């Protein structure tokens, strides 16, 4: 049974595994209408209506932090149960198979096929505001399809390798942005969603995206 406040604000756990400053994400989610707890406590993570997985820093370091906090198992249990999860920045990247960052050999969670690779642009990191090409029918980007979002990253997934012909499986919705080359800016896959940009740093557009996600819980 989902943990709810008496005001019926959906409960959201922000996974606390040592990933940088996540308090801006906590505050943004509270403003979006959620009752938010920064935690790695098993029951709190599993029982919350939604789980947010932030990610700041290098891919391998984030994976090791998640492993140390038992976060990979907790995320996996929620995904297996169809419970909402939202990854942010490297929290998106770890859902793919792996990364070439610093010649990393650390595998990702492989929820989606693909590799995180350095952006082949003259200006890296990609830091600042950028538009996106929202997936048709996106719930995350409803009403904000033409807005700009705040990115800070040097690596991204640049090819979508999902087999759309898999039986009994609806193809995920993929949103793209461009910095030198097109790259994946967001994925919506049933209860599992993720953004390469930081909605908590993206002003009114990011606040609207988080409100769209919170409303879906």
198 is catalytic: yes
**Among 23, 89, 101, 147, the one annotated catalytic:** 89
| Rounded (to 5) percent helix, strand, coil in the chain | 25, 30, 45
Instruction: For residue 203, say if its preceding peptide bond is cis, omega within 30 degrees of 0.
Output: no
In angstroms, the Cα distances linking 142 to 11, 24, 88, 101, 213 are 22, 23, 18, 33, 10
6 is catalytic: no
89 is catalytic: yes
**Among 126, 153, 179, 198, the one annotated catalytic:** 198
Q: Which of 108, 87, 110 is nearest to 14 (CA)?
A: 87
Buried b (16+ CB within 10 A) or exposed e, 208-217: bbbbbbbebb
CA–CA separation, 94 and 92 (whole Å): 6
The 8-class DSSP code of residue 134 comes to: P
Maximum Cα–Cα distance across the chain: 52
The runs of H, that is alpha helices, within 112-202 are none
Q: Which residues are identified as catalytic?
A: 89, 198, 200
């Amino acid at each position: 049974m989902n943990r709810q406040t008496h005001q019926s604000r959906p409960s959201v756990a922000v996974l606390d595994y040592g990933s940088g400053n996540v308090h801006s994400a906590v505050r943004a989610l509270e403003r979006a209408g959620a009752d938010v707890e920064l935690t790695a406590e098993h029951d709190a993570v599993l029982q919350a209506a939604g789980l947010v997985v932030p990610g700041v820093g290098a891919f391998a370091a984030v994976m090791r932090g998640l492993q140390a906090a038992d976060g990979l198992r907790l995320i996996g249990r929620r995904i297996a149960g169809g419970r909402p999860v939202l990854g942010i920045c490297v929290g998106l990247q770890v859902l793919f198979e792996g990364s070439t960052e610093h010649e990393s050999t650390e595998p990702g969670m492989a929820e989606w096929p693909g590799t995180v690779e350095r952006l082949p642009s003259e200006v890296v990191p990609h830091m600042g505001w950028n538009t996106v090409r929202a997936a048709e029918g996106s719930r995350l980007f409803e009403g904000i399809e033409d807005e700009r979002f705040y990115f800070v990253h040097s690596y991204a997934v640049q090819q979508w390798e999902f087999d759309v012909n898999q039986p009994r499986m609806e193809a995920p919705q993929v949103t793209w942005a461009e910095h030198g080359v097109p790259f994946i800016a967001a994925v919506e896959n049933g209860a599992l969603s993720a953004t390469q940009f930081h909605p908590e740093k993206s002003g009114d557009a990011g606040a609207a995206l988080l409100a769209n996600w919170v409303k879906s819980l």
